[in-house]
Amino acid sequence: MKSGYNIKWTDEALNNLKLITDYLITKWTERELKIFYNKLEKNLTIISKNPFVFPESGLKKTVRRSVLSKQTTIYYQIKKENVTILSLFDNRRDSKSIKL
């Protein structure tokens, strides 16, 4: 039985994560940072175990999205045994600026 899909990150997604982390460090407390990372970890676990549970993004047929919080959406793509995290998108920005 398969334990889950491998999670891979694009450079864009890692950069997004760094920007979010930097923002949380400067504007919020360590507690909020931990809450964010706990939500992210739980969400990635769900995606790894069943990536088809979240809907198609509407941007590209092969890209799915998972709302992490009111402010952040994860965009990802499934390929064979891998899930590639394409972007952690700030929902307050214009959706036309998503780099996938």
**CATH superfamily, region 6-90:** RelE-like (3.30.2310.20)
pLDDT per residue as tens, the chain (100 positions): 356 899 999 999 999 999 999 988 999 888 989 999 999 999 999 999 999 999 999 888 899 999 999 999 999 999 999 999 999 998 877 666 677 7
Take residue 89 and report the two structure tokens written for it: 């998108």
What burial letters (b/e) apply to 56-72, b meaning 16+ CB within 10 Å? ebeeeeebbbbebeeeb
Give the SS3 label for residue 4.
coil
Q: Which residue's structure tokens are 């920007």?
A: 19
Domain ranges of the chain: 6-90
Decide: 21 and 33 in contact? Cβ < 8 Å: yes
* Assessment of whether the complete model's pTM goes beyond 0.85: yes
Residue 94 neighbours by CB distance under 10 Å: 6
Q: How far apart are CA 93 and CA 90, in angstroms?
A: 6
